[in-house]
Structure 1
């Protein structure tokens, strides 16, 4: 390692040779790639986009992932970017709300709400510390669990073959099962990179198996070009509706807490104390990344926690590794054939992989809740009501159809409804404890995929 150009007490600024940066940067990309492409593929398929539109959505996502990563890892001055070895990507917390918004109002409304949420994050970043007391483990753990549980029906529908004539065909269920078993084998018998990239490898393996079953169509890849610039507002100018904006701002609060936890986790691994001003700069980076997500036809971005494990595993703490990852992602985003590869993954393969991913999100929420004091009946009741109301529209479709539109929109979005119940339930039952301490929140360090 080249330590001549760096402060030995701060290895995050260590300059590494290109021959070292490239493989390490690519490793980070591969570890997050499945999560990166899954969000646009899932959202695009759920709201009825064509394969060509989904391919463009994937390209836009990879391109903006790269820019967002550069914002956080490289930084801009003292005020934007946490300047730690982190990777930015779309969080699954935002998937279910975006599907709800997209089905009701279309992509332009999603992008309008994402842009407004990014501005909201920029505005409150400096004051976010005062809000943390309202988001203890009771709230964040409940919300993350609801997110995972809300997305499981999406995974199961894909595992059955998606909507269409082949829905429920045994071939689809067998293929989804093969993918799940393959992912389990990788996690049981392998460590390190193979384990970290198990979902991505499961997608590749499942698609190969599906090709022998005649379930893969390569026409989208063969017809795709080799170079295309990602342009702003490809799907139309953003539209702004109050309900979706409120939804995405609430989701952004959860993502900010995730980000703070990841910042602290990475800084601990790197042996660097992260100051409050650096956390605020990182949150501003999150806000700017969200705005860019809305502009470049993509989604809300947050710091990926799964890449934290790679920093610990590799022992390389230089932020320039993830800067290199950001550049690789930008390059992938402007190569349409790479984006088109994501569209050939059969629904059943995607369903098997995402069932594991979404289930892990739920388990992560449960893990966060393990620090909650369950001797208090109020805490248990808050979680019970939040989960029950959060999943109500999933288990009883049409439950809120006769309510006014604004109220119907909030209640049908289970994550928003569950989050509000968790937040206000916590305030109602724990008001004295909240007011007694400004620091009574336990920030999770690594709780999402």
Structure 2
């Protein structure tokens, strides 16, 4: 009688799944369509504040796409000590816009902006391992709250897109814009219910919405051929960075906010994908983020961060492969080198993006709510943490001018709903469950203070049709 022994097999992590090349490229393109507007908006705003010419703003846009793509590949593919190896799309951070516009309007100009980013990026790179240690203080009550607020904070962006995005446009908020977005939303939802195409629902919705918009004069692709087809990056095209103490200090504070948001996004993706996220993985992700931010000014652009809207793509489509995001990052690099391709994507009407944004960003909030269902609501402390943190996160969303009269340092940190909610939830969890734990709930506290990465191991994350992809 013979016996056969089998070698133990190691289960493949969900994010390491490799899909056929065609599907990988399509799903990657879907990610790029979702976040393209966010990437180009920052250089457009800062370039306008600096009084730059059209050609100079175009250079900023191309640089933003190129660096975002390279940062995305580094984050998702990963190198030793750099990159979370999760499906995280990197883009140019909105958190730094107000600080950069203030600096660029002063004596230092764009060179002072780039200098402050360079120093702040190096600072973030050095403290990333220390910053990542706080991940053990992010149990489901904290991460669930943060993920919920990420989704809520993105919804106003989708609404603005739905209305046309440009408040100066006389047609902003017009019925035909909103109807176009609603049509795109319906197409996306219907496609998400068809198993054969559910994972491409966002891409199909954007394509169909754009095609329908053309005969109604709501989309214009005639300018795609205008301008250069190919352009190489020009390092330090605006001159050598300069360093101003005030600008550097302000940007360091902004970088801490960016690191908080990136940590939240890493935890959110880990939860949605259903994979282990420990402090080392967070540190690797933050190092990739900070390295990209440090090198960004050399290539004429601004700090990089993980894009929360792409977390919504993963939550809705169930596509967890990091190689899909790597493909998307490669496309962003190409867009930075081939402005003609960027002009194609830039021609997608904002109401179309708003239509898909409604369900994408809502999916992020729904993921956070689902995570919160796992906590012990009988514990009053958990209820207080969630209630207070969500309220703090919604304040800058509901009333954008709330912090206008506060010192700039406070306004910079709390004017982001995501960072406000993250800081509040983290501090209250630390206070209630570590500094002042209720003695009658010691067993519950230990159970509920397990890391979100450990919790993710026991949760089945469903795909669009209720099955695991």
Scaled by the length of structure 1, the TM-score of the pair is 0.75
**How many pairs align?**
420
TM-superposed CA distance for 1:22, in Å, is 4.9
For residues 400 and 280 of structure 2, the distance between their equivalents in structure 1, rounded to whole angstroms, comes to 45
Matched, 1:122 2:132: no
Aligned to 1:16: none
Q: Distance in 2 between matches of 1:59 and 1:389?
A: 36
Cα RMSD (Å): 4.4
2:411, 2:284 → 1: CA distance? 36
- 2: distance between equivalents of 1:169 and 1:63? 34
Q: CA deviation at 1:216?
A: 2.0
Q: 2:253 matched to which residue of 1? A: 246
Q: Which residue of 1 aligns with 2:201?
A: 198
| TM-superposition CA deviations, 1:269-295 (whole Å, max 9, x none) | xxxx99986775555334323434454
Quick check: 2:145–2:386 contact (8 Å CA) kept in 1? yes
Distance (Å, rounded) in 2 between the aligned partners of 1:361 and 1:264: 11
Q: Per-residue displacement from partner, 1:302-351 (whole Å, max 9, x unpaired)?
A: 4966787999979xx8x888766654543333110111122222232222
Q: Matches of 2:328 and 2:260 in 1, distance apart?
A: 26
Residues 343-368 of structure 1: per-residue CA shift (max 9 Å, x gap): 22223222222222222222222223
Instruction: Please give the alpha-carbon distance, in whole angstroms, between the structure 2 residues aligned to 1:323 and 1:407.
Output: 36
Cα offsets for 1:189-222 (capped at 9, x unmatched):
244xx33332233222222111111122335422
Note if contact 2:184-2:209 (Cα within 8 Å) is conserved in structure 1: yes
C-alpha displacement of 1:174:
0.7
Query: 1:141-220 residue pairs with structure 2 within 5 A?
Result: 141-161=144-164, 162-163=166-167, 164-191=169-196, 194-220=197-223
Displacement after TM superposition at 1:185 (Å): 0.9
Change (3 A) 1:125 1:244: closer
- How far the C-alpha of 1:137 sits from its partner, in A, is 2.1
Contact 1:41 1:342 in 2 (8 A): no
Give me the whole-angstrom Cα distance separating, in 2, the residues matched to 1:351 and 1:56.
27
User: Hey, what's the Cα distance between the residues in 1 that align with 2:61 and 2:305?
Assistant: 14
In 2, distance between residues paired with 1:301 and 1:360?
Answer: 20
In 2, Cα distance between equivalents of 1:376 and 1:390:
22
Task: Tell me: CA distance 1:287–1:406, structure 2 relative to 1, closer, same or farther (3 Å).
Answer: closer
Match of 2:371 among 363, 368, 382: 368
Q: CA 1:416 to 1:261, structure 2 compared with 1: closer, same or farther past 3 Å?
A: closer
Is structure 2 residue 397 aligned with structure 1 residue 385?
no
Asked whether the 8 Å contact 1:294–1:300 carries over to 2, the reply is: no
Q: CA deviation at 1:184?
A: 0.6
Task: Say whether the 8 Å CA contact 2:263–2:282 is kept in structure 1.
Answer: no
* Matched residue, 1:356: 359
Residue pair 1:152, 1:358 contacting (<8 A) in 2 also: yes
> Following TM superposition, by how much is the alpha carbon of 1:238 offset from its aligned partner in structure 2, in angstroms?
8.0
1:398-417 alignment, distance < 5 Å? 398-417=401-420
| 2-structure distance, mates of 1:338, 1:58 | 13
In the TM superposition, what are the counterparts of 1:176-325 in structure 2 within 5 Å? 176-191=181-196, 194-232=197-235, 237=241, 240-256=247-263, 258-259=265-266, 281=284, 283-293=286-296, 295-296=298-299, 297-302=301-306
2:77–2:323: 8 Å Cα contact kept in structure 1? Answer: yes
Q: SS where residue 189 of structure 1 aligns? A: coil
CA distance in 1, matches of 2:393, 2:96: 16
Change (3 A) 1:389 1:413: same
* 1:442 aligned onto 2:458: no
Determine helix, strand or coil for the equivalent of 2:375: coil
CA distance in structure 1 between the partners assigned to 2:335 and 2:382 by the alignment: 46
How far, CA to CA, are the matches of 1:395 and 1:311 in structure 2?
29
Correspondence for 1:37: 36
Could you say what secondary structure the match of 1:372 adopts? coil
Q: Provide Cα deviations, 1:109-133, integer angstroms capped at 9, x if missing partner.
A: 8866765664355324444563212
1:90 counterpart residue number: 90
**SS state at 1:418 partner:** helix
Equivalent positions of 1:66-145 (< 5 A) are: 66-72=69-75, 75-76=78-79, 78-81=80-83, 86-90=86-90, 95=94, 97-98=95-96, 100-101=98-99, 118-127=121-130, 130-145=133-148
CA distance in structure 1 between the aligned counterparts of 2:296 and 2:256, rounded to whole angstroms: 14
Residues in 2 aligned to 1:347 and 1:218: alpha-carbon distance in whole angstroms: 13
Alpha-carbon shift at residue 64 of structure 1 (Å): 2.6
**Deviation for aligned residue 1:228:** 1.0
